[in-house]
A and B are shown apart, each in its own frame.
Chain A
């Protein structure tokens, strides 16, 4: 990495430009499995964010100690440790969330977002920016999951965060097929908007370059 990434870059990358769910399409299993309701999406996001921040910090601290050849097994053991911690905490203090997350809770270990950030960011950057990267990547993940959860809960169950809104429901959105459909549409809309923004930006740049050229 040529220069230390700034706070703004990390924040923007995590939440928008490199959004793990909508741009990189990583961590798809919990995204599809846990967005039938807003609360399960939020719970999964929070649990994954916790593991992501902790593992990023520890891996960044150990980045000069871990030999390159065995780094992946080391990363996995670190991630598995924090997943065990979060599982125990949720089981003890928030049993409702623990039940909602079910099998997807232990599966945080194999969530590619976390291993991906360990490999591409935490193993190369200092502790501070790794912790921030974990926080914002986690936020991006949580935001995407919660938004999808809200959409599917409002359309599929006529409720939001468990509170009933109206009697109208389209059961399709609560079913597995609805999960794939909603996710597909989310990526499509996200790509559409980011492409439009990109085009606007490059147009602006082109105009600036042109005026600069004319000035010269």
Chain B
């Protein structure tokens, strides 16, 4: 599969950020006790991912590469992400208080989410590997959007399953993280079917 459809399917399923690439596991485990909070986290991550891709790609291609400063990419990216999150918080607070209060503490947490830095790094790495810029600007932003949606799908599904398993009578040592990992294991098996596409 080539082109845009390929990017969408890969980002959503066959290269799902959580279940295949293992990026953003901390919020996946930490914020998946309730479906509502999982959905808020997913939306926050998706928003920040799109903006991150939209901003870091031109910075790398048009500023760092011409100046030969590629080695600064980690520091620059993390600073850009942190300030973007801060800015989004301020803008949302002013213009959309409803969404702001719904996202609550999840927005600042997104800064240290490795899925965000991961998406920026992956787009750049894909460009390096191909020698040319494998993702055009539009595709990079699209990848960010669908990677975020893939993240949301995984975290909302897990939270639904966790709400059920909370009621089970489990051995003490399996309660909490271990049983969540084992549920995630079954989800990963289900998602691995898509890798054949």
Q: Which B residues form the contact surface with A (CB < 8 A)?
A: 19-26, 29, 71-75, 77-79, 82, 112-114, 117-118, 121-122, 125, 172-174, 177-182, 184-186, 188-189, 191-192
Q: Quick one: which of A33, A88, A103, A191 contacts B173, CB cutoff 8 A?
A: A191
A106-142 to B contact mask, C-beta < 8 Å, 1/0: 1101111001000000000000000000000000000
The answer to whether B180 touches A184 (Cβ under 8 A) is yes
Is A185 on the interface with B (CB-CB < 8 A)?
A: yes
- Also in contact, A107 and B82, with CB within 8 A (given A25-B29, A176-B19, A188-B173): no
- Also in contact, A195 and B179, with CB within 8 A (given A29-B23, A115-B112, A176-B22): no
The answer to whether A112 touches B181 (Cβ under 8 A) is no
Bound form: Cα–Cα A26–B29 in Å:
10
Task: Please give the number of chain A residues whose Cβ is less than 8 angstroms from any Cβ of chain B in the complex.
Answer: 41
A75-107, CB < 8 A from B: 76-77, 80-81, 83-84, 87-88, 102-103, 106-107
Q: 23 A-B Cβ contacts within 8 A?
A: A26-B26, A28-B29, A29-B114, A33-B21, A33-B22, A76-B82, A80-B78, A84-B74, A106-B117, A106-B121, A107-B121, A109-B74, A109-B117, A110-B78, A175-B189, A177-B186, A179-B22, A179-B188, A180-B188, A184-B177, A184-B178, A187-B177, A195-B173
Bound form: Cα–Cα A33–B21 in Å:
7
SS class, residues of chain A in contact with chain B: helix
**Smallest beta-carbon distance A44→chain B, Å:** 12
Bound form: Cα–Cα A110–B114 in Å:
6
The answer to whether A195 touches B25 (Cβ under 8 A) is no
A1-37, CB < 8 A from B: 25-26, 28-30, 32-33
A175-203, CB < 8 A from B: 175-181, 183-185, 187-189, 191-192, 195
Is A73 on the interface with B (CB-CB < 8 A)?
A: yes
A191 / chain B contacts, CB cutoff of 8 Å:
172-173, 178
Most chain B beta-carbon contacts within 10 A, residue among A32, A103, A176, A191: A176
